[in-house]
Structure 1
Amino acid sequence: MTERTPQHAVVIASGGLDSTTVAYLLASRGSQVSLLSFDYGQRHRKELASAARIAEQLGAAHEIVDLTGVGRLLGGSALTDSSIAVPDGHYSDESMRITVVPNRNMILLSVAVGAAVAAKADAVAFGAHAGDHTVYPDCRPEFFTQMSKTIRAANEDLLADGFELLAPFLDASKADIVRTAAGLNVPFGLTWSCYKGGAVHCGSCGTCSERREAFAVAAITDPTEYSEPHEVTR
Structure 2
Amino acid sequence: MSQKVVVIFSGGMDSFTVLNLAVKQGLEVFSLSFDYGQRHKKELDYADRACKTLNVHHKIVDISAINQLIGGSSLTSDIDVAEGHYEEQSMKSTVVPNRNMILLSMAVGYAVSIEANQVYYGAHSGDHAIYPDCRPEFVHKMNDVCAIANYEAVEIVTPYLEVSKTAILTAGLAMGLDYNQTWTCYNGREKACGKCGACQERLEAFSENGVSDPLDYEG
TM-score, normalised relative to structure 1: 0.91
Shift in Å at residue 174 of structure 1?
Answer: 0.5
Aligned to 1:62: 58
* 1:24 alignment partner AA: N
Among candidates 7, 13, 38, match of residue 9 of structure 2: 13
Note the 1:58-137 alignment, pairs <5 A.
58-82=54-78, 84-137=79-132
2: CA distance between counterparts of 1:41 and 1:186? 28
Aligned residues, how many?
A: 218
2: CA distance between counterparts of 1:201 and 1:188? 13
Q: Does 1:45 align with 2:62?
A: no
1: CA distance between counterparts of 2:115 and 2:38? 29
Aligned to 2:28: 32
Q: Does 1:224 align with 2:215?
A: yes
Aligned to 1:143: 138
Aligned to 2:180: 189
Q: Does structure 2 retain, via aligned residues, the 8 Å contact 1:37–1:65?
A: yes
2: CA distance between counterparts of 1:118 and 1:81? 32
Q: Does structure 1 retain, via aligned residues, the 8 Å contact 2:85–2:196?
A: yes
- Equivalent residue of 1:222, what SS? coil
2: CA distance between counterparts of 1:222 and 1:72? 36
**Structure 1 ranges of 4+ moved more than 6 A:** none
Q: Does structure 2 retain, via aligned residues, the 8 Å contact 1:179–1:220?
A: no
- RMSD over equivalenced CA pairs, Å: 1.1
Q: Does 1:204 align with 2:182?
A: no
Q: Can you give the 5+ residue segments of structure 2 that lack an aligned partner in the other structure?
A: none
Aligned to 1:153: 148
2: CA distance between counterparts of 1:7 and 1:220? 35
1:83-117 C-alpha deviation (Å, 9 max, x unpaired): x1001100000100000000000000000000000
